[in-house]
Amino acid sequence: MKGRHSLDETGKPTYSVDIEKREILPLLEDALQAVKRYADKRKKRAVNENELSAFIQNKFKNTKKLLPEILAKKIVATCECHPYYLQYLCHIIWEKVIDKEIVKKEDFSGSLGLLLSRESSTYEATWNLLTLKQKQVLLALAKVTLDEKLFSSAFLEKHNLGSASSLQRTLHSLTEKDLIDKEEEVYTIIDIFFKKWLIRLEK
């Protein structure tokens, strides 16, 4: 970064700052990646699980690595068919098997663990800023099943969430923080790997 003095059209001195390309380009790239990541997280895509499994199998095959179908489906299910998270996890798996020809179960589990470890400082910082009630609700959302009703007395009692109105207020606050999303009356945690991290937090 360099500064220089000059004169404007009226003859008054001005001061400008030159920012070299090597300084500004990384900043722009980081900003664009942050925007892309946020947009991808919020994007909902209906992707066929079988087609997606076949797609990533083919990508591994193109680099002379065999990804068994059962593992491909497990990876897709873990990422809930979300392209951003799928790409992220597959990249780490590929790095782990760079000197191998076959992807094994332990490569998948180890890669998922490594991913969560890489993100843990961010997740911990987010977690530490939340209230007790917000933490309780997030943990409940991380484990909710399809047949459970969020505002039912059974669910509220199971997770010690208090009243339905209290839960509603907490859900709203978490939505404002962009930690959860609501679609067709269903609340979900936006960051799929944050959800995995929360599940492991209680183990």
The more confident residue out of 66 and 24 is 66
Q: Name the least confident of 26-40, 41-55, 106-120.
A: 26-40
Number of domains in the chain: 2
Domain assignment present for 12 = no
Residue 102: Cβ within 10 Å count: 12
Domain assignment present for 17 = no
Domain assignment present for 181 = yes
d(CA 108, CA 92): 9
pLDDT digits (tens, 9 = 90+) for 93-102: 999 999 999 9
Instruction: Give the pLDDT band (50/70/90) at residue 47.
Output: low
Q: Are 137 and 167 in contact (CB under 8 A)?
A: yes
Quote the pTM value: 0.74
HEC string for 145-157: CCCCCCCCHHHHH
Query: Do 173 and 116 fall into the same domain?
Result: no
The pLDDT value recorded for residue 185 is: 79
Which tokens is 98 given? Answer: 């760079």
Q: Which of 186, 138, 194 is nearest to 161 (CA)?
A: 138
Query: Do 87 and 106 fall into the same domain?
Result: yes
Q: What is the mean pLDDT of residues 189-201?
A: 95
Tell me whether residue 194 is exposed, middle or buried, using C-beta atoms within 10 angstroms of its C-beta: 0 to 12, 13 to 18, 19 or more.
buried
pLDDT digits (tens, 9 = 90+) for 120-172: 999 999 999 999 999 999 999 999 988 888 999 999 999 999 999 999 999 99
Query: Do 120 and 165 fall into the same domain?
Result: no
Which tokens is 181 given? Answer: 């999303």
The more confident residue out of 111 and 43 is 111
The pLDDT value recorded for residue 16 is: 44
Which tokens is 54 given? Answer: 């076949």
Give the C-alpha distances (Å, rounded to integers) separating 111 from 1, 82, 101, 103, 104. Answer: 40, 17, 16, 11, 11
Q: What is the mean pLDDT of residues 72-91?
A: 93
Query: Do 121 and 138 fall into the same domain?
Result: no
- Distance linking the first and last C-alpha atoms of the chain: 49
Query: Do 56 and 121 fall into the same domain?
Result: yes
Domain assignment present for 38 = no
- Chain mean pLDDT for the chain: 83
Q: What's the CATH number where 71 sits?
A: 1.10.8
The pLDDT value recorded for residue 39 is: 46
pLDDT above 70 covers a percentage of the chain that reads: 76
Query: Do 66 and 108 fall into the same domain?
Result: yes
Query: Do 149 and 197 fall into the same domain?
Result: yes
The pLDDT value recorded for residue 10 is: 53
Length of the chain: 203
Of the three residues 126, 160, 190, the one that is the final residue of a domain is 126
Range of the domain at 102: 49-126
